[in-house]
């Protein structure tokens, strides 16, 4: 068994033409934790996960997965890691049992072992009722669950999931969340999850790292990151950005920190609830009246805005699925 940890030290990846996808990134994932790697499309998430799963070589820096170097011990990394990426399609003409059995054979199982493991995984990801249907008839959520099962065939110590819920409806997304939680709780599996969904990172991750333009912008537990912004914020919505900017100028001296995001002013301060009357009074004296006022706890959205200067745009993509690429790997045999 590996040590189930992931360690990344000063990792960089550049491409011809001067494009740097990952720039001097360092972090660690303790054994048995869920690590949420958060950022917009093009931020460097997928490049990082490809390096960690030996599908791309770093330009500089070092990374180990389960104690094995991703460059010099790539075969060992593949043996102990399960991988579900975004861009490889499932064969729509095959059935789930066929795909999982084939995957088991590719990982070195004999026919009986592969079939038994396939049946276990079909039950694990709740695809029993669809076992006789071709994959092409599956919904997006079912395809993602099969995708997850394929990554689990060889019983990995560490699981890499690259945006596993992109493009899914809320109900299917939560089904995947529950599967991820169960794998982590029941098997102690270390899970590296990239996502563009703030709620997903907040719901699942023990540790969150925010990457933007190839660099780490922040990392820590979701609660720690949110607490770094202060206890509460007063959110004031105006008719337009011009009024919001004017309002911020009138009350900036009353706050610890203030942000303007389009038509919304966010005022951060201790005991924000008690400060509402004085803030509203100051604005009314300047004939600036918000159309709504709310008091909220900080969110990861607020954290992202603070460390990057912009909102994370959650984009919807077509559901995709993956067959993990053994590429000469030899999975551990089942007894």
Helix axes 140-151, 96-106, angle to 10 degrees: 20
At 41 the pLDDT is: 80
Q: What is the pLDDT of residues 196-229, one digit of tens each?
A: 888 999 999 999 999 999 999 999 999 999 888 7
CATH number at residue 273: 3.30.70
| Long-range interactions of 245-250: CB distance < 8 A, separation 24+ | 246/286, 246/288, 247/283, 247/286, 247/288, 247/290, 250/282, 250/283, 250/286, 250/288
Expressed as residue numbers, the domain containing 141 is 6-225
Q: What is the mean pLDDT of residues 100-114?
A: 95
Same domain for 262 and 206: no
Indicate if 19 and 124 belong to the same structural domain. yes
Q: Is the whole-model pTM more than 0.85?
A: no
In degrees, rounded to 5, the angle at the alpha carbon of residue 329 between the alpha carbons of residues 324 and 334 is 90
Residue 333 is predicted with a pLDDT of 38
Does the pLDDT value for residue 86 go beyond 80? no
3-state secondary structure of 257: strand
Please, what is the average pLDDT of the chain? 88
**Higher-pLDDT residue of 39, 56:** 56
Burial of 149: CB neighbours in 10 Å, binned 0-12, 13-18, 19+: buried
- Chosen domain end from 180, 204, 225: 225
The number of domains in the chain is 2
Dump pLDDT digits (tens) for 140-188. 888 888 998 999 999 999 999 998 888 788 888 888 899 899 899 988 9
Tell me if 334 is assigned to some domain. Answer: no
Residue 329 lies in a domain: no
Summarised one tens digit per residue, pLDDT across range 116-130 is 999 999 998 889 999
The per-residue pLDDT for range 283-301, each reduced to its tens digit, is 999 999 999 999 988 888 8
């Amino acid at each position: 068994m590996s040590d189930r940890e992931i360690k990344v030290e000063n990792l960089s990846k550049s491409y011809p033409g001067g494009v740097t996808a990952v720039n001097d990134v360092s972090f660690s994932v303790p054994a048995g934790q869920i690590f949420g790697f958060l950022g917009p499309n093009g931020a460097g998430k997928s490049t990082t996960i490809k390096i960690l799963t030996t599908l791309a070589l770093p330009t500089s820096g070092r990374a180990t997965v389960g104690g094995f170097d991703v460059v010099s011990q790539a075969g060992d990394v593949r043996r102990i890691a399960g991988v579900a990426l975004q861009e490889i399609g499932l064969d729509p003409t095959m059935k789930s049992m066929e795909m999982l059995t084939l995957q088991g054979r590719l990982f070195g199982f004999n026919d009986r072992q592969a079939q038994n493991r396939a049946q276990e995984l079909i039950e694990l990801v709740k695809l029993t009722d669809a076992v006789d249907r071709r994959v092409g008839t599956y919904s997006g959520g079912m395809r993602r669950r099969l995708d997850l099962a394929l990554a689990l065939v060889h019983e990995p110590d560490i699981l890499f999931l690259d945006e596993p819920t992109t493009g899914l409806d809320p109900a299917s997304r939560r089904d995947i969340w529950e599967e991820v939680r169960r794998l982590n709780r029941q098997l102690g599996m270390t899970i590296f999850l990239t996502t563009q969904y703030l709620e997903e990172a907040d719901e699942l991750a023990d540790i969150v790292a925010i990457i933007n333009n190839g660099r780490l912008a922040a990392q820590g537990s979701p609660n720690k990151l949110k607490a770094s912004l202060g206890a509460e914020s007063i959110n004031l919505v105006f008719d337009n950005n011009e009024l919001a900017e004017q309002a911020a100028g009138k009350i900036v001296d009353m706050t610890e920190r203030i942000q303007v995001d389009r038509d919304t002013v966010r005022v951060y301060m201790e005991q924000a609830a008690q400060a509402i009357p004085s803030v509203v009074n100051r604005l009314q004296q300047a004939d600036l009246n918000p159309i709504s006022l709310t008091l909220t706890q900080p969110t990861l959205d607020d954290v992202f805005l603070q460390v990057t200067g912009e909102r994370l745009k959650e984009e919807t993509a077509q559901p995709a699925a993956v067959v993990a690429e053994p590429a000469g790997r030899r999975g551990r045999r089942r007894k």
